[in-house]
A and B are shown apart, each in its own frame.
Chain A
Amino acid sequence: MNPMISLSGLTKTYDGGFQALKRVDLDIRAGEIFALLGPNGAGKTTLISIVCGLVRGSSGTVTVGGHDIVSDYRAARALIGLVPQELTTDAFETVWNAVSFSRGLFGKPANPAYIESVLRSLSLWEKRDNRIMTLSGGMKRRLLIAKALSHEPRVLFLDEPTAGVDVELRRDMWALVRKLQQDGVTVILTTHYIEEAEEMADRIGVINRGEIILVEDKATLMHKLGQKQLTVQLAEPLAAVPESLAEWGLERSDEGHALTYTYDAEDQQRGIADLLAALAAAGVEFKDVNTRQSSLEDIFVGLLREAA
């Protein structure tokens, strides 16, 4: 199946000379929920902005639904709904007018019944005649979603949809995204939080310093993320890992003062109790143990080290 969105060799150098995207190649499949994960300044918003026509790419090509975003921008953009990262709304317009405006802007004839259904699904129906400035922050974010959905897009971009959003709204938002997916809409969301990607996405792309460093099915990535490390501080430094402990794949560190065991948190087969027993059996004395979950940060560091 052809990808819904295809970026190839996409580069962006801002006027100041800063390179925000470095030859990005990425395909987004039709109907999937794709999470773009990365730290501040990684280039997530830049990438989205180029696809949506807000920023001009420096080189490379982008197609949406097979339409080039430059030469066939009308067809490409008509497919897209964008919910920006910042809460940018008019102040004096009413909710109803703002959403109707968006629909017209994207070239669709008025359809009050559809607008009503969108507003209802986002719990904004009661607020339809209110001016936007009287809405709360969470309502404004929902309004931005309503505007993005007003023209029945096939692709929805959510740029950090849950920043500053309470738990309940977050849950509503996930429900909405799932419903959109059932309707066949492709959803791309950006986030800093691995949990968010875990909750929602079918596939996850990790971007750092303008480079896509990994694109993986969620299940595969979660497996990697599920790795934990147990570090044992030894009473006496070891020159080498004892033969009898070879099967555990331990790593010596801190000049032999510590041993590190990496394991899968989900895997109950080889529990840490067994390891500690094995250490005792091998006559290795230890004074402290600690465990830690590998974080997104570790994955970044690991991936970057691999890339270098």
Chain B
Amino acid sequence: MNLYAIRAIYRFEMARAWRTLTQSIISPVISTSLYFVVFGAAIGSRIPQVEGVSYGSFIVPGLIMLSLLTQSLSNASFGIYFPRFTGTIYEVLSAPVSYLEIVISYVGAAATKSLILGVIILATAAMFVPIRIEHPLWMVTFLVLTAVTFSLLGFIIGIWADGFEKLQLVPLLIITPLAFLGGTFYSINMLPPLWQTVTLFNPVVYLVSGFRWSFYGIADVSPAVSLGMTFLFLAVCIGVVAWIFRTGYRLKP
């Protein structure tokens, strides 16, 4: 293991986040706070309790997941796309580092950033609504797994994208709808039966459901299934990354 290299890349990426503090931390916190004001206080006061939890508290896990997903994606995709775009990637590719080390450092840094963000949002949420965490260990597990998985997905997008449009398009066109339709703001039990079935094809449902279960003990699908699906998704991402490096796809002509 080239630990010096992992540390160098990791630090470099974290320093980049520090430089763009507004973008990476402050703006998600503000937008989450707005969600609380709008959905939690304004609309939520008219919505009765969901499965014994006040609506404001109910949406907290979903909102954290929403930020975690989008931030992991954008952190990781920018992290690898930018050096490709400027050409500075040459240095990493010519260094005595293995593919695993490259992935660990870039994905690790992206996941760290979104985890920090998740914790900040949780703290922000706690100022607005009462929160309780019934299964802290599960909560941390879901948090870390999701951050890593979606950072990997972001890494893949960052390598696949050949322009800034594509970099923005995937999160915008695919991930955001999936996240919104994934039970962030509602229990899928509230949907008509047909839509409940359709929703089960949305991977985000499992993340949100499992995560919410770790808070309040209520879930749309069983936590074991949620965990299984998360691992499945992680495995798929790892597989794609392995393929990328084996073939040199978009990295080495």
Q: Are A and B subunits of one complex?
A: yes
Interface set of A (CB-CB < 8 Å, partner B): 14-15, 52-56, 73-78, 80, 82, 84, 86, 88-93, 97, 100-109, 147
In the complex, residue of chain A having the shortest beta-carbon distance to the beta carbon of B86: A88
Residues on B with C-beta less than 8 A from A101 are 8, 11-12
Contact between A54 and B252, CB atoms less than 8 A apart:
yes
The proximity string for B residues 10-25 relative to A, scoring 1 for CB distances below 8 Å and 0 otherwise, is 0110011001000000
Q: Is B7 an interface residue (CB 8 A)?
A: yes
Instruction: List 14 A-B pairs, Cβ < 8 Å.
Output: A52-B94, A74-B98, A76-B96, A88-B88, A91-B86, A92-B19, A93-B15, A97-B12, A104-B4, A105-B92, A105-B95, A106-B4, A106-B5, A109-B4
Contact between B94 and A54, CB atoms less than 8 A apart:
yes
Q: What is the bound-complex CA distance between A100 and B7, given in angstroms? A: 11
The proximity string for B residues 79-115 relative to A, scoring 1 for CB distances below 8 Å and 0 otherwise, is 0000000111011111111100000000000000000
Extra contacts, 15 of them, besides A53-B252, A100-B8, A105-B8 (Cβ < 8 A), are A54-B90, A55-B252, A78-B96, A80-B94, A82-B90, A82-B91, A88-B86, A89-B86, A97-B15, A104-B7, A105-B5, A105-B91, A106-B5, A107-B5, A107-B97
Residues on B with C-beta less than 8 A from A90 are 86, 88
Residue count of chain B within 8 Å CB distance of chain A: 26
Contact between B4 and A75, CB atoms less than 8 A apart:
no
Inter-chain contact count A-B, CB under 8 Å? 79
Among A73, A80, A108, point to the contact of B4 (Cβ < 8 A). Answer: A108
Among A75, A82, A104, point to the contact of B94 (Cβ < 8 A). Answer: A82
Contact between A56 and B252, CB atoms less than 8 A apart:
yes
Q: Is B2 an interface residue (CB 8 A)?
A: yes
Residues on B with C-beta less than 8 A from A73 are 96
Among A14, A76, A89, point to the contact of B88 (Cβ < 8 A). Answer: A89
- From known contacts A74-B2, A106-B95, A109-B4, infer whether A14 and B90 are also in contact, taking CB-CB under 8 Å: no
Closest 7 CB pairs of A and B: A104-B8, A88-B87, A74-B96, A77-B96, A52-B94, A105-B95, A104-B4
Q: Is B9 an interface residue (CB 8 A)?
A: yes
Residues on B with C-beta less than 8 A from A52 are 94
Residues on A with C-beta less than 8 A from B8 are 100-101, 103-105
Residues on B with C-beta less than 8 A from A74 are 2, 96, 98
Contact between B96 and A88, CB atoms less than 8 A apart:
no
Q: Is B253 an interface residue (CB 8 A)?
A: yes
Residues on A with C-beta less than 8 A from B97 are 105, 107
- From known contacts A54-B90, A89-B88, A90-B86, infer whether A107 and B252 are also in contact, taking CB-CB under 8 Å: no
Residues on B with C-beta less than 8 A from A105 are 4-5, 8-9, 91-92, 95, 97
